[in-house]
Structures are given as C-alpha cells and as structure tokens.
Structure 1
Amino acid sequence: MLSYIKFSLLVCLALLAYSCEDDYLDTRPTDAISATDALATEANMELIIRGMHRAMYSQSQTVLPGGTAVGNTARANEHYWVPLGDNLAGGLIHSASANNLGWLDQAQWTSHTDQTSLTVEVHWYHRYNIIANSNALINRISEGDLPETPRLLNILGQAYAYRAYAYLSLVQHYAKGYLIGNPSTDPGVPILFSSETPFESAPRSTVQEVYDQINADLDAAISTFENAAPRPSGNAFDKSNLNIDVAWGLKARTALASGDWETAAQAAVNARQDYPIMSEADWKAGFNTTLLPEVIWGSNVIGTETTFFRSYFYLASNTFNGSQVRNNPKIADRRLVDAIPDTDYRKDVFLINAPNSNLSAANGEGGFTNNTNPLYPTEEEFEAEIARLASEWGWTSAHNTHPYMHVKLRQQNPGGIEPDDIIYMRSSEMYLIEAEARAYMGDIAGAQEALRPLGEARDSAYDVTQYDTEESFIEHIKFQRGVELWGEGFLFQDKIRWDDPIDHGANGGSGASETLYQDGYFQERPSQNDDWVWKIPQREIDANPNLTSADQNP
C-alpha cells in the first residue's frame, strides 16, 4: 500500500537542506540521510516537522516523487486544496472558459468523480504522506528512550494534530458525510500506523472508526501540548506550526462535522481565545499573510518557492498576473452578495458594478456593445471605469473585469506572480462553529450571543435577535459563513454537512453559465447523490492488497 510514501521522510529533510537557517550548509545528498538518523534527536525530528510544514504548500513532485501522476507539478498541495472547496461547491464562480491546472474541470465535476484523475491521486497520497511522517515521529517518541522535554512534546503534539488533520481531510472527501450517512457501517479510509515500508494497513475502516481515531489523536495532541514548549510568535513562519489552539480548532471542526454539538461549541471557544476579531482594515487587506490577528494556523510561503503559477492566488485571486486570472475573473454568487446589507463592510470586496470587459465572457455580455449597466452610458465611461479599477486594485491592463468579481483575496504585490501565505484557520470560523452548534442544540439565545461579536464587528447595523428560531438562525449561519469565509475553501464540506444541493439556477441565478458549468451547474443534495464522495485512486486499488474494485466508491 501507498508505495510512494517510502520516500517522504527523506524528502522532507531534503526540503529543509536550504531553507533552515541552522542547517543551510548541510549539503549531504538525500539518500545519505537514513531514517534512523532522521529520528535520532529532537533537532532532527524538528526538521521533519518543518519539512511537513513546507510540504503543505510545495509542488507535489517535491513530496511525492517518482515521475508519475502523484509527483505531477500541477498540484502545489494546499495552494490547490484550500480554494478547491469553494470551486467545487460553486462559490468561487468562473466567468469564462480557462482550464489551467484542471480548474474548470473541478467546477464541472469531471475530476473528483474520475478514479484516474490527478486530483484524487495527489490528494490521497499527500494526506497519507502526512500520516506516514506523523507515524514515524509518534512511534519513535513512544519508544520512551528520549528525554521528555517541552521541545520533544511540542514535536509530538504537532505529529498527533497533523495526523488528525490528514485523516479528517481523507474521510471527508473519500467517504460519505457523517451526518448524512451511517457512520458505523459506511466505509471510510484505511487507517495506517506503520512508520516503515511497506506501509501496510487494514482494509477501509468505517467512517466511525476513522472519526474515533481523529478524536483520539486530537485528545492526545491537546494533552501533549499542555506541557509542551509554546509556539513562538511574532514571525509569519510561527503560525505554520500547529499548537494547542490548532488542535482545539480541528476538534471543533471534527465535532461539527459529526454532530457533536456540545464539543464543537466548547472546542471553538478554546481555539479562538488569543486571536481577536480583525478590524475592517485587516479584513480588507487581502488575506495574504499569517500575521493577520485572526489567523490561528496557516502556511508562511517562502517567496522564492516555484509555486508561482500553481499558487492559491493564481487559482482564486483576481489580481494575480496569470492567464487563469486575466482571462477568467472569478465572481461570487450574486444571490449571496446582493443579500449583504450595505452597512456590512464585507460587501465592499465584491465589485458588483465592474464592467464586463471580457469579449469571451461565458454569459455573452462582454464588451461595451453588450453593456446594460446605466452607470456607463458611453464607451468612454465604460473604459474609464475599467482603467480606474485596474489602478485601484493593482491588476494590469490585460486583466478582464466582470460584474460581481471579488477583491477579497489579493497578493501583497497585486499584478505580480509571487505566491503569498495560505490561511487554514481563523478565529471567525470558530465564532461561526460555536453559533451553529448552539443552534442545533436548541440554545438559540446562546447561539445569538456566540455570533453577536462577529456580526457586530462586520455590520454596523447588525441585529442578531431577529434570527430567533432554529430554522431562521441556521439559514443566517449559512449566509454568514458564505460571506465571512468566502474563497477560503469551506463551502464543499458545509454543503455536505447541511445536505444542500448546488443549484446555480435557483432564485434568480448565481451568475454562473450553465453552458460553461455543465454537470457542475446542478448537483442534487449529498444524501441523494454519490458524486459528492471522491473516487479512491485506481492506482491505490490496484496496488493495495487490502482493497479491491468492490471498495471503490459508487
């Protein structure tokens, strides 16, 4: 099973050979570093952890080598997986045809439903790569012959949290959603404890067994972190490290996904304590740095990394200088944007009245000759607004514009190609988790109070008391998550948890083109639609003696 993981430990160390200040002169070849040496000391194990941090955003061939699909350069891991959640679920909408990196294939639902696709393979092997590295650290430390120092406990806590993160990602993509299925019998994913080749595992565990493992790892991480060296602060790299707050945040996500409302609410409170709600200026700054005060966890991307045209901002931002962006401005669902009150400053990052300058726009309304916006009665005014937007937001004259395009996600250097940081967890998400969990517990007053700080920070006229029933409050939570977390990758799992369909044509339409979106234009709710579950890579079924074609998801 998982034959490519055998390279991971050594590769992670090799990645660090020129990025860690303490070891930048170490020029030993990769194959000169044995697994025994890698796990011999705290310092070496810390290098493995740092390699895992970097592997979160490196192009996949640096983590999963071998010259095959799993080592393909077209996936730079979290640069791809984070925005994919919004791309798949129809929140991040394509306005024109541009299929770089298979990004339109994802929106059309032709990739994760194909067991031979690059997406299902690289995601599967990357997550098991994290698990194999975590296992190596956990198993080595559990031998008990190393002094139990705060530094060693920090390494161990991160390994437990990383393993839980990877299993949660796997079971949420390759298995039926916990709340819409039968977790005690639904097939989940294989659980792997080995830290040496050949990395054999049992067959697919049930969804419940995988969630039990996730919770056990998170509980171990939290208890370990309580006596561990604290995470450093003040540097953008520091939040690449997992700490007790990250573990609590993962606990909150896990509990929310499985309907353990009380645990979800309390874990969310624990996770967010030291991360104040951002100001308007911070919220509008582009979401491009882990130094934002709300960020609990994220990758500090090294500026010299060659992920430029593989980066999060290339796929999701409208200011990146790449063809995927210039030819295809990403727009937000106009039904969501139109529902944002004018008193809510988050509305400002959606350019409702941007001219449609793209003659190849999927809606056929590009160019001044097709303009119907009364704000631009002449071609001169139409072109002047296009130029003004380029000047204000930093994109080039070659970038197209489109109504409802966003400027939420912007690089620190708009109009450039540098990859910026990737944010994985913010305190705002934790307010939303607590509020949703309390609503499902029937505690509407508690849910209102949980959401009030976030709502009032974003909207000067916010009144949470108008949502005074479970039904109205949950609908409001869906709206708030849609606005607050837009573009940050949560929508696919949200729809599975809520058992909501994708319907771009309902209620006046989202703005997506049915011709462009094809199968992605409408997808029935997850409880009635097996296509929400990703296919297991065919190469895994072929290579793993514990899996057969009967184990493939329908």
Structure 2
Amino acid sequence: MGADEVTGGFNTVNISGWIWGTDITLDNNLDLVSWWGQVDLFTYSYAWAGDPKSIDDDLYSAIGENDIRKDQFIDAYGDGVLYPIGKFYAPAQTIGGQRSVETDYVYMRIAEMYLLNAEAAAKTGDEATALASLKALLDKRMDDTSYLNTLSGNELLDEIYLQTRIELWGEGKSYLAMKRNKATITRGPNHLSYAGESFSYDDDRLTLEIPQVEIQNNPNIN
C-alpha cells in the first residue's frame, strides 16, 4: 500500500495489499451491529453515537511526525479524541451517513507478512533480513528510515513490535503480538478504564479460558 492508500479508507477489498477480506454488499444486511459501526464516525452506529474507538495516546505519540500513519487519526471535534477516520472511513465521509454497511472487512494484509518476517528473523538472529523486511514496509510510510540502521538486539525487536502495533491498529492483531513478544503494555491517559495501569502478557485478565464443556468433551485435551 502506498501513502495514498494508507489514508484511503481501508474500505474495499480492491485496495492493493489486501490478502484476505470480505466484500460486503447490501445483501449482507449489516448495519448497527457491525465492525464498521464500532470504529467509523461516518457509519450510523456506536462510534457516531458517542462511543468512539480512539488510539492510545502513548501509541499515537510514538508515531513519527514524518510518518503518514500519523494522519490516520484525527481530532474530529477538537476535544482531543483521536478518531481513526483517516484510516477507516465510509467513502462519502458523511458523519453518521452510512446506515446500511457496504464497506468491506479486512482480515489480513501483506504488511503483516513483512512484520512477521522481520520479527521471526530478528528472534533467530538474522538481523539483516529483519531490517530489510522492516525497512521495505516503513520506506512506504516515512520520509526517512535511516534510524533503523542503528538498531540491533532488543532495540530492534522492540521497534518491530512497536511498528506492528502502529501498522495494524484496529485490525485485530495486537493481542497475539503481545502474547508472542511477552510484552507489557501500559494504558495511556485517555482510557476510560485502567488508565496508566500496566498489564503483562500473562495477566489472567488477558487469558482466554477454554470452556468447561470443551474440556469435558474434547478427547484431544489432556
């Protein structure tokens, strides 16, 4: 995805860089209860009605000023809430305008493959490959990526993890990335709950338990 597509709405499977998605049409009968309703100010649903999904302030601050992805998050009403309407938006961009959802669902993008390759390479000691994969992606997001050449070891791993969180924000990837990297996340000051508190990857509250009925009836468990 080039710079124009990074801020182009993420709303159609025809965008370059998508590997897997769903082509939503009116026949799907999606409206209030939809992913778009959760994140898009321009869809008539939860985000429009006062329950916005906004980026963590600390994560937003970590995005460089020369990074096009900074423009994915916009203070729509001047109240400091950064809506992701520079990344996800219905094409008409009319507040609350999309009543019946026609914008598509993205599940997987090529960018994720570059980031996973960088992560795997760094963890196996192949830092040259890790840097090459990370640079190939970030060269399309930033004016200058020369700082990457100074990174190695844990600093390189931390940068790959950070860029994964930034690049794939809102795409359902951060949970498993946190688990893989055994990370601890501190919630920024703009959260309604647990603001400023830190959560480790192995916190019980971040562990999805196997249902009892599955344990009892699945012969492949235990």
Which of these residues, 74, 80, 83, is aligned with residue 405 of structure 1? 83
- Partners of 1:445 and 1:292 lie apart in 2 by 30
Which of these residues, 281, 300, 316, is aligned with residue 23 of structure 2? 300
Structure 1 residues 444 and 327, CA, compared in 2 at 3 Å: closer, same or farther? same
- Does structure 1 residue 427 correspond to structure 2 residue 105? no
Contact 2:135 2:148 in 1 (8 A): no
SS at structure 1 position matched to 2:170: coil
Offset at residue 546 of structure 1 (A): 4.8
Residues 380-432 of structure 1: CA distance to partner in whole angstroms, max 9, x if unpaired? xxxxxxxxxxxxxxxxxxxxxx4322211112343212322111111111111
Structure 1 residues 532 and 471, CA, compared in 2 at 3 Å: closer, same or farther? same
Which of these residues, 187, 207, 211, is aligned with residue 533 of structure 1? 207
Contact 2:32 2:46 in 1 (8 A): no
- Partners of 2:34 and 2:153 lie apart in 1 by 39
Root-mean-square deviation (Å): 2.5
Offset at residue 469 of structure 1 (A): 1.3
Offset at residue 532 of structure 1 (A): 2.4
Unaligned runs of 5+ in 1: 1-277, 357-401
Contact 2:17 2:110 in 1 (8 A): yes
SS at structure 1 position matched to 2:106: strand
Structure 1 residues 462 and 541, CA, compared in 2 at 3 Å: closer, same or farther? closer
Residues 132-166 of structure 1: CA distance to partner in whole angstroms, max 9, x if unpaired? xxxxxxxxxxxxxxxxxxxxxxxxxxxxxxxxxxx
Which of these residues, 301, 307, 310, is aligned with residue 33 of structure 2? 310
| Equivalent AA in structure 2 for residue 437 of structure 1 | A
Residues 47-79 of structure 1: CA distance to partner in whole angstroms, max 9, x if unpaired? xxxxxxxxxxxxxxxxxxxxxxxxxxxxxxxxx
- Partners of 1:352 and 1:475 lie apart in 2 by 28
Offset at residue 303 of structure 1 (A): 2.1
Structure 1 residues 478 and 354, CA, compared in 2 at 3 Å: closer, same or farther? farther
Q: What residue in structure 1 maps to residue 65 of structure 2?
A: 342
- Partners of 1:311 and 1:291 lie apart in 2 by 20
Given the two structures, how large is their TM-score scaled by the length of structure 2?
0.86
SS at structure 2 position matched to 1:297: strand
SS at structure 2 position matched to 1:524: strand
SS at structure 1 position matched to 2:32: helix
- Partners of 1:335 and 1:526 lie apart in 2 by 18
- Partners of 1:462 and 1:352 lie apart in 2 by 27
Bigger fraction of residues in helix: 1
SS at structure 1 position matched to 2:131: helix
- Does structure 1 residue 418 correspond to structure 2 residue 100? yes
Q: What residue in structure 1 maps to residue 172 of structure 2?
A: 489
- Partners of 1:338 and 1:521 lie apart in 2 by 15
Contact 1:436 1:474 in 2 (8 A): yes
Q: What residue in structure 2 maps to residue 511 of structure 1?
A: 190
Residues 251-277 of structure 1: CA distance to partner in whole angstroms, max 9, x if unpaired? xxxxxxxxxxxxxxxxxxxxxxxxxxx
Question: Which structure: larger Rg?
Answer: 1
Identity among equivalent pairs (%): 26
